[in-house]
Structure 1
Amino acid sequence: MAENYTDPSGNTAQFRAFVDSPEATPGAAAPSRLPLVAGIVAAAVVVVALVAWLALG
């Protein structure tokens, strides 16, 4: 570890600035789940089509 490392919990002002920083907020913008849902739906459609093709063929 570097010798000049300053722990953000070392004093109250630094700790409060660390806690109030935008990166520390738990409600930060979450990544979109739309691509995941679209991929699952597309895979389900492919599986249903494959089962139907095998059943009717």
Structure 2
Amino acid sequence: MSENYTDPSGNTEQFRAFAHTPEAAATPAPSRLPLIVAAAVVAVVLLALAAWLALS
């Protein structure tokens, strides 16, 4: 195996170039709307089931 391998993570200049690229910038968090909608649907179904069991 060659002894001339340079680890890119050990190179400060390459790391700084990577850190300052637009792709490395913080990405926006994914939308939580589907999770909220799913939780609301589950709550409505559970309430409907509880009401149906209470009335039957």
Asked if these proteins are the same fold (TM beyond 0.5), I'd say yes
**CA RMSD, 1 decimal:** 2.3
Structure 1 segments of 4+ aligned residues over 2 angstroms from their partners:
5-13, 21-25
Question: Which structure has the larger Rg over C-alpha atoms?
Answer: 2
**Pairs aligned (count):** 54
- Secondary structure (helix, strand or coil) at the match of 2:27 reads coil
**TM-score, length of structure 1 as denominator length:** 0.71
In 1: Cα distance, 2:8 partner to 2:23 partner: 14
Any gaps of 5 or more consecutive residues in structure 2? Answer: none
Any gaps of 5 or more consecutive residues in structure 1? Answer: none
Structure holding more helix per residue: 2
* Identical aligned residues as a percent: 63
In 2: Cα distance, 1:54 partner to 1:13 partner: 67
Residue 46 of structure 2 corresponds to residue 47 of structure 1: yes
In 2: Cα distance, 1:6 partner to 1:49 partner: 64
